[in-house]
Amino acid sequence: MLTTELSEADVSALRVNKERLAKDLHHSCQWGYGIRWGDGSTDTGMQRLALSEEDKSVRDWFIQTMKDLKCQITVDEMGNIFAVRPGKRTDVPATFIGSHLDTQPTGGRYDGILGVLSGVEALKRMDEMGLETEGGVGVVNWTNEEGARFPVSMIASGVWAECIPLAKAHDLKEVPTVASLPTAASAPETMKSALQKIDYLGSVPCSYKATPMAAHFELHIEQGPHLVSAGQRVGVVTAVQAYRWYRLNVIGRDTHTGTTAFEHRADALYAFSCMMVRAREVAKSRGCLASVGIIEAKPGSVNTVPGTVSFSLDIRGPETELVAEVEKELRKDFDAIAAEEGAGIGKPCRVEWTLDFDSPAVKFHEDCISCVQDSAHAVVADAPVADTKSLVRPIMSGAGHDSVFTSKRVPTSMIFVPCKDGLSHHPEEFCSANDCATGASVILQAVVRYDRKRFT
């Protein structure tokens, strides 16, 4: 049976196997399971940092699983794994389902993992149906999407899109606080060395030219409260908000906590505290977000006022310009805060900014969005409500995803499913087996619809 020979009704009837998807997903979570939060066998979070030993194990399992489905495997210089189920035509690039298998240090079982596993399940379903596609269908596992161990998120899809130079990515060092986890080496390691260590430094160039795609679809938990609080089942992702990641240093002066009056201090940590309070005020006033995830104060002694504080700053907003405005205002305000702290001794604090990552707002591709929307409407059509279309809504993504980078080179869109309390990056992150299967069925149909669109 060939996709282009199916009827519209045939396509709309396509569903994944819910039980098999759940089983495979939790099977893959045996590598790097994290903090336990409940009594059930799957009631743990995940701690599977990119390129850790646990990541190697799940990668090995992924490749073996895809080989069993007769896929062709490609590993590129960033350790991205592309598994392609060949189609009828061998002269065209495959349509991909992709996401990532790495997690936050205190992450959950769905962020990224559901995206890859939905691809595995989609291919298993096609295989057992004997469904042939015109172009191939692939599943891709992108390396270090989280940016938790190596502090640039989506770095490997960024290199693939030729938006980030390979050398920069290879030389990137792991975050010391995360490096102190038992899974990592004692001294900060580069990405290239970590790739070599687990034997995932492939020889194929990491580029959309070497490993082309027809399109990229990604299924993800929403990581926000909109779907779950409205009782909706599928989000058709039309765009991704803009964000920028910075590293800041505040430089003051180390002094004794017991003998230095406040007016004689240039306390870098006090200045930081004022900055963080201000960052929320400014971001809020423009409908944006500002967050600090990493902080280090030196020298780090109870009775020494810290002379140096380094921290990460993550600014997000619905429009690229809004993020730029928040940055501009904070640069001014942080300078003012720094100038005041230490003014009494004529040695005020100062602030240094480094922009690590800049992801402008993204609009996804109309063709992909319509495939997702049609599929979503078809999948929820049997729901016991009057207006099933109300269970589907267009939505903007607050988080970055590998789809941000693929969208720069190939038609791309995403599918969101609800997660409990809108919570993610937390061990208790949860998406029900029903919602996982709904999302996977949508992506299965979307890929089939896209294949039909390409070749009819």
Question: At its nearest, how many Å lie between a copy of itself and the CB of residue 186?
Answer: 6
How far is residue 99's CA from residue 58's CA, in Å, rounded to a whole number? 14
The one among 250, 289, 415, 437 contacting a copy of itself by CB under 8 A: 289
Copy the structure tokens of residue 409: 């080179």
Is there binding between residue 272 and a copy of itself (CB under 8 A)?
yes
Q: How far does Cα 6 stand from its chain's mean position? A: 34
Question: At its nearest, how many Å lie between a copy of itself and the CB of residue 445?
Answer: 26
How far is residue 139's CA from residue 121's CA, in Å, rounded to a whole number? 10
Contact 213, 135 (CB under 8 A): no
Is there binding between residue 257 and a copy of itself (CB under 8 A)?
yes
In degrees rounded to 5, what are phi and psi of residue 263? -75, -10
How far is residue 137's CA from residue 451's CA, in Å, rounded to a whole number? 9
The one among 70, 168, 284, 389 contacting a copy of itself by CB under 8 A: 284
Question: At its nearest, how many Å lie between a copy of itself and the CB of residue 248?
Answer: 12
Is there binding between residue 153 and a copy of itself (CB under 8 A)?
yes
The one among 71, 156, 191, 269 contacting a copy of itself by CB under 8 A: 269
In degrees rounded to 5, what are phi and psi of residue 415? -125, 130
Question: At its nearest, how many Å lie between a copy of itself and the CB of residue 361?
Answer: 12
Which H helix or E strand runs over 336? helix 320-340
Give the interface segment with a copy of itself, choosing from 162-170, 290-298, 362-370, 371-379 (CB under 8 A): 290-298
- In 3D space, the residue among 194, 154, 164, 177 whose CA is nearest the CA of residue 54 turns out to be 194
Is there binding between residue 158 and a copy of itself (CB under 8 A)?
no
Q: How far does Cα 269 stand from its chain's mean position? A: 30
Which H helix or E strand runs over 236? strand 234-240
The one among 138, 158, 306, 439 contacting a copy of itself by CB under 8 A: 306
Q: Which of residues 105 and 136 has its CB atom nearest to a copy of itself in the complex? A: 105
Is there binding between residue 300 and a copy of itself (CB under 8 A)?
yes
Is there binding between residue 252 and a copy of itself (CB under 8 A)?
no
Sign of CA dihedral 280, 283, 288, 293: negative
Is there binding between residue 183 and a copy of itself (CB under 8 A)?
no
The one among 298, 365, 393, 420 contacting a copy of itself by CB under 8 A: 298
Question: At its nearest, how many Å lie between a copy of itself and the CB of residue 313?
Answer: 9
